[in-house]
Structure 1
Amino acid sequence: MSTLFKVVDAARVMLQSGNSFFSLMKKGASIASTRLLHNCSHYIPQLNTILDVGANKGQFALAAAQRYPDAVIHSFEPVPDTFAELLQNTRKTPAIHTHNFALGSCNGMLEFYSNSYSHASSALQVSELQQQLIPRTANARKIEVAVRQMDSLLGHITFRAPVLLKLDVQGFEKEVLLGAEKCIPQIDYLVFETSFVRMYEGEPLFDEMHHFVKEQGFELIAPVGYLQSDNLQILQMDLLYRRKRINGSARHKY
């Protein structure tokens, strides 16, 4: 029955997003990312720069390249094995530029948990609750990865507006933003995954993250995705924010 639901869901996403069946069957394509970008496009008509932080195998980047064909996409993935798949999946998409390091609040090396379920890999340890709810996330090994502040990318990456910053870093979102003090004023849209229950040890939950990004000058537009448990509890949600506007203009500080 679960296979049938997946087929029905894929058909619904194709109809809503305008994507073809074959585009969703490509290596690295993702129904979830296609749906997320489709939902974002209701509020974001155009993008010229996309920062894909926590790129995994390129699912979001590939969907973004199709949804926003004029955008230059920078994808960041620190886990070597996963990065190799990211390279393979995006090699035929010139708009996608890949970077094999994490983003965080400092420059150097970072202890990282490479999960056998790669979507759950994080600088934070998977909580017991998540292991109970999603047993496939229980196995992880410690590795060291390179980490850089986003601010260190200024001068190397062009932030051509409108700019979207997408964060899918499994509880490490605040650390990424803490390392982006100079970059944040150049971000027009921010989409990130936030938890309502502790999915990773030490992660900030929704209330803390919402107040933090508001202090950075963003306002909530809408939820654009969610993760639900088998008993219908919403565990995580993808939230889309926009830089607050003054007299109709975003507050860029270049």
Structure 2
Amino acid sequence: MGIKLQVGIAIEKSIDKLVQVNYKLLPFIPNGRILPLDLKRALIKPKTIFDIGANIGQTSNYFLKNFPDAEIYSFEPVAATYAQLAANVKSNKIHIYNEGLGAAVSNQTIYINDSSETSSLKDVDGKFSKTEVVKINTAQNFCTQNKIKEIDLLKIDVEGYELEVLDGLGPLLNNVKAIYSEVGFDKNDPNKTYFPDLLERCEKSGFITSGFYDPYRWGNGKLNVFYNVLLINTNLIDI
């Protein structure tokens, strides 16, 4: 981890801590600063959360801290990473699954990076040294099996595979209140789903852009390589 990234993370944590201890600051915090705050502003109190690309559980635990009444369904296909996820999850409110979600039920090869957060179902540059065959389910199939009719918050971080996850929702996408997804801004980067493509896909179901979070750029580059974006379903949430 580079020194600039370490400093940036430290500053982010300091600001978040300041806001937590001084609630008078909350009305002055703009959208795109703190995800749980923005969801509460949109009158979304998640009861059902999907964490797709759960990695080692950092986001699932963050969601649980902020939404303790929610049932969180966490999906991580890589065996070694899933083992870490299982070790890090201590609550029975977080349900973990050793599988990925995609457009169709299948077994697929995943390309494993030394940094587990960047393992991908797409071997776009041939730089991955390890592979593993993993189980892929669809969100629609999973929800049918588990009698889930509505998803309050759908978090997706799957290294360029986001559209396939949405395809696997089928008509259930109309029953998702909010999507929190990693997106890219370089249409030539196959490791990140190009934001206009994601937005075009979701607009058909009534989603609008509500906020951008955690911008990241490589080194001294001028291009913001990726963000996390919050999309709100206007067919389910008043704006």
SS of alignment partner, residue 170 of structure 1: coil
Contact 1:159 1:186 in 2 (8 A): no
User: Which residue of the partner structure matches residue 16 of structure 2?
Assistant: 13
Q: Shift in Å at residue 181 of structure 1?
A: 0.6
Alignment RMSD (CA, Å): 2.7
Aligned length: 224
The Cα offsets for residues 194-224 of structure 1, whole Å up to 9 and x where unpaired, read as: 11124436x5412212111112331111213
Contact 1:50 1:72 in 2 (8 A): yes
For residue 211 of structure 2, the aligned residue among 210, 222, 244 is: 222
SS of alignment partner, residue 145 of structure 1: strand
SS of alignment partner, residue 110 of structure 2: strand
Q: Shift in Å at residue 157 of structure 1?
A: 2.9
Contact 1:40 1:240 in 2 (8 A): no
User: Which residue of the partner structure matches residue 119 of structure 2?
Assistant: 121
SS of alignment partner, residue 210 of structure 1: helix
User: Which residue of the partner structure matches residue 100 of structure 1?
Assistant: 98
Q: Distance in 2 between matches of 1:178 and 1:125?
A: 20
SS of alignment partner, residue 177 of structure 1: helix
Q: Shift in Å at residue 127 of structure 1?
A: 4.5
Structure 2, gaps ≥5 residues long = 22-32
Q: Distance in 2 between matches of 1:182 and 1:44?
A: 23
Give the counterpart letter for 1:93 in structure 2.
Answer: S
Change in Cα spacing, 1:183 to 1:45, as seen in structure 2 (3 Å) is closer
Contact 2:159 2:193 in 1 (8 A): no
Structure 1's consecutive aligned runs of 4 or more residues displaced over 4 angstroms after TM superposition are: 1-6, 34-42
Q: Shift in Å at residue 154 of structure 1?
A: 2.4
Give the counterpart letter for 2:60 in structure 1.
Answer: A
Q: Distance in 1 between matches of 2:76 and 2:151?
A: 23
Pairing 1:189–2:187 present: no
Q: Distance in 2 between matches of 1:6 and 1:52?
A: 22
For residue 108 of structure 2, the aligned residue among 95, 107, 110 is: 110
Contact 1:217 1:243 in 2 (8 A): yes
User: Which residue of the partner structure matches residue 25 of structure 2?
Assistant: none
Q: Distance in 1 between matches of 2:169 and 2:7?
A: 43
For residue 232 of structure 2, the aligned residue among 223, 231, 242 is: 242
Give the counterpart letter for 1:64 in structure 2.
Answer: F
How do 1:72-87 residues align onto structure 2 when only pairs under 5 Å count? 72-87=71-86
The Cα offsets for residues 83-118 of structure 1, whole Å up to 9 and x where unpaired, read as: 00000000x211100010010011110111111111
Q: Distance in 2 between matches of 1:117 and 1:107?
A: 26
* TM value normalised by structure 2: 0.82
Q: Shift in Å at residue 38 of structure 1?
A: 5.1
How do 1:174-185 residues align onto structure 2 when only pairs under 5 Å count? 174-185=163-174
Contact 2:111 2:128 in 1 (8 A): no
Contact 2:182 2:193 in 1 (8 A): no
Q: Distance in 2 between matches of 1:126 and 1:38?
A: 36
Structure 1, gaps ≥5 residues long = 19-33, 129-137
Q: Shift in Å at residue 4 of structure 1?
A: 5.3
How do 1:1-150 residues align onto structure 2 when only pairs under 5 Å count? 2=4, 6-17=9-20, 36-37=35-36, 40-43=39-42, 45-90=44-89, 92-127=90-125, 138-150=127-139
> Identity of aligned pairs, percent?
24
Give the counterpart letter for 2:93 in structure 1.
Answer: A
Contact 1:107 1:147 in 2 (8 A): yes
User: Which residue of the partner structure matches residue 134 of structure 1?
Assistant: none
Pairing 1:156–2:145 present: yes
SS of alignment partner, residue 84 of structure 1: helix
Q: Distance in 1 between matches of 2:43 and 2:74?
A: 19
